[in-house]
Chain A
């Protein structure tokens, strides 16, 4: 398997836009690692989402009553459906990927939107290898999109244990996690003082929010800060996985540049669902995370499953927005034909003009608002001139009526 960033700059190929090409590239990537495609229905019973609404990243579900009188929903999330419809594997780990549309409320606007979501889930006895593989696949997914990228990693299980070890109540924990998520050190300090934490513990929290950029140095800081405060086996597992991931990055070519991995304990989630490693992926120039995932063993237990689980989703709607720059032209060639020309001749002319890969739009009249690179007239009224072109081809003329 190559480690080159040869997919970095998607250009228009086979008529596909960059984001569409990325979907295919990710599918190939996940299949290369033995993940099999999971297909699902567009609908689920509404109860599934009503019972786990805090797990959904956005509120609002489109509901309808089916022919049996059951309240159904257009699925706003993929993970819940996969968990619901997948039994605990008798042995090993079920490795699945998906490419599905989900339906959510449009942010900052009225109405709903259909979003293409790609991602993967590993369900079963999650060992260090699987954990590391999923993190590596998250990194590779970002790499496929091209440009600079960062995968930030945290461990909500360790952070949660640290808070519990300080004797904080559940309500206090929610407040602390919210401030940690904002990197709000000034208000966190006041709150921890209010909770009468020892100065050493307050400093521990504050230092966790300001880790070194270098993942190796940051890991050293995390181990030092959490040592003796959390379950040692879990801390060692986290350290082992991160060290392995750093090793994979360092062994790669320039594709995994410095700074691709970042340990950042300000990354938090809902501890009722996530209870281990969590991560988010960022691409330079995109103002929000484009990938999000983690170990959701707590959700599995809530849904009556014994297995562990880890997975992530890639938000294709955001990637479409930033990867697919608007095209300047609706077509490369506008073939303007006379209506008295034989249809076969018009068709043959269009085919001829498209031989070099140009997009050819044939029209009897210039449509309103169209932009084209080149206008070619084709008609019987034209001076024969051999090729049957009416007048001359107007090269390079942009038209925006």
Chain B
């Protein structure tokens, strides 16, 4: 049973989660047990008033919106795609990348018909092109998005670009940048009402750590 008096923190599994825990650790929210590995899913640190659990990065916002976690760390891409009803309290300035439109090097949009767009981020792509009045045909894929223009499945892709290496190796390039992405601290709106001081403390501590870093 989780101790409800502690602030429940949903961490994204993977590299980003490790970096975030490092920031939390430095900010005074240590929980050494979390580094031990094993199959345990929930890690409590009663002395620091926090309880951590690892979840799939794309699920963090769901845990927070539904109140299973009070706060969580999630990429801006997930927030833009699913628009969860949560507070976005801080830009952690880590996990930086960009959401971009990419295409084959010889691609030219002649605007003669609907643009075929392959993406995992259908909502972001739709909003982006709707804003520009461009008719599009969304092809929702779950992975290996770069393959779509190479095989003629789509004209362009909308995806996260970090260094651009994968694009370059596949003779693709960024055509337009949609929005910069980084990790954000989010909070459940109802939890915030009952734990404002504790959540504000975590936010301030992480903001302090971020400033020291930069």
> Does any Cβ of B come within 8 Å of A182's Cβ?
yes
Give the docked Cα–Cα distance between A86 and B88 (Å).
40
Assess the B189–A288 pair: CB atoms within 8 A: yes
Assess the B89–A287 pair: CB atoms within 8 A: no
Give the docked Cα–Cα distance between A186 and B194 (Å).
23
Residue in B88, B91, B189, B194 whose beta carbon sits within 8 Å of that of A284 in the complex: B194
Give the docked Cα–Cα distance between A331 and B90 (Å).
51
Max chain B C-beta neighbours (<10 A), residue from A185, A186, A187: A186
Within 8 A of B (CB), among A248-264: 262
Give the docked Cα–Cα distance between A187 and B196 (Å).
21
Interface pairs (26), CB distance under 8 Å: A148-B194, A150-B194, A182-B87, A182-B88, A183-B87, A183-B88, A184-B87, A184-B88, A184-B89, A186-B91, A187-B91, A282-B190, A282-B194, A283-B190, A284-B194, A286-B67, A286-B190, A287-B65, A287-B66, A287-B67, A287-B188, A287-B191, A288-B67, A288-B85, A288-B189, A289-B189
**Measured between C-beta atoms, what is the minimum distance from A314 to chain B in Å?**
15
> Does any Cβ of A come within 8 Å of B197's Cβ?
yes
**Secondary structure dominating the interface of A:** loop
**CB neighbours of B197 from chain A (8 A):** 213
**CB neighbours of A213 from chain B (8 A):** 196-197
Give the docked Cα–Cα distance between A183 and B200 (Å).
12
Give the docked Cα–Cα distance between A262 and B200 (Å).
15
- Closest A residue to B200 by beta carbon equals A210
Q: Number of A residues contacting the other chain (C-beta, 8 Å)?
A: 20
**Measured between C-beta atoms, what is the minimum distance from A166 to chain B in Å?**
22
- Closest A residue to B62 by beta carbon equals A108
**Measured between C-beta atoms, what is the minimum distance from A185 to chain B in Å?**
8
Within 8 A of A (CB), among B180-205: 188-191, 193-194, 196-197, 200
Question: What is the 8 Å Cβ interface bit string for chain A, positions 160-188, against chain B (1 contact, 0 not)?
Answer: 00000000000000000000001111110
**Measured between C-beta atoms, what is the minimum distance from A250 to chain B in Å?**
20
**CB neighbours of A295 from chain B (8 A):** none
For the complex of A and B, list the 3 residue pairs with the smallest distance between their C-beta atoms, beginning with the closest.
A287-B67, A150-B193, A183-B87
**CB neighbours of A262 from chain B (8 A):** 193, 196
- Closest B residue to A266 by beta carbon equals B87
**CB neighbours of B188 from chain A (8 A):** 287
Residue in B88, B190, B191 whose beta carbon sits within 8 Å of that of A289 in the complex: B190
> Does any Cβ of B come within 8 Å of A152's Cβ?
yes
Give the docked Cα–Cα distance between A186 and B90 (Å).
7
- Closest B residue to A190 by beta carbon equals B91
**CB neighbours of B190 from chain A (8 A):** 282-283, 286-289
**CB neighbours of A152 from chain B (8 A):** 193
Question: What is the 8 Å Cβ interface bit string for chain A, positions 192-224, against chain B (1 contact, 0 not)?
Answer: 000000000000000000100100000000000
Question: What is the 8 Å Cβ interface bit string for chain B, positions 89-103, against chain A (1 contact, 0 not)?
Answer: 111000000000000
Give the docked Cα–Cα distance between A15 and B79 (Å).
44
> Does any Cβ of A come within 8 Å of B61's Cβ?
no
Assess the A183–B193 pair: CB atoms within 8 A: no
Assess the B194–A183 pair: CB atoms within 8 A: no
**Measured between C-beta atoms, what is the minimum distance from B95 to chain A in Å?**
15
